[in-house]
Amino acid sequence: MPTIVVDVMPKAELLDPQGKAVSGALSRLGKDAFTDVRIGKRFELTVEGEVTDEILAEARRIADDILSNSVIEDVVGIEVVE
Amino acid sequence: MPTIVVDVMPKAELLDPQGKAVSGALSRLGKDAFTDVRIGKRFELTVEGEVTDEILAEARRIADDILSNSVIEDVVGIEVVE
Q: How far is B22 from chain A (nearest CA, A)?
A: 8
pLDDT bin (cut points 50, 70, 90) of residue A14 is very high
Number of domains chain B is built from? 1
Question: What average pLDDT does this structure show over B55-72?
Answer: 96
The whole-number pLDDT of residue B82 equals 80
For residue A17, what is the domain's CATH number?
A: 3.30.1280.10
CB contact under 8 A, B66 and A25: yes
Residue pair B59/B6 in contact by the 8 Å Cβ criterion: yes
What range does the domain containing B25 cover?
A: 3-81
A29-62 pLDDT, tens digit per residue, is 999 999 999 999 999 999 998 999 999 999 999 9
* ipTM for the predicted complex: 0.93
* A48/B41 CB distance under 8 A: no
Confidence class for position B36, pLDDT limits 50, 70, 90 = very high
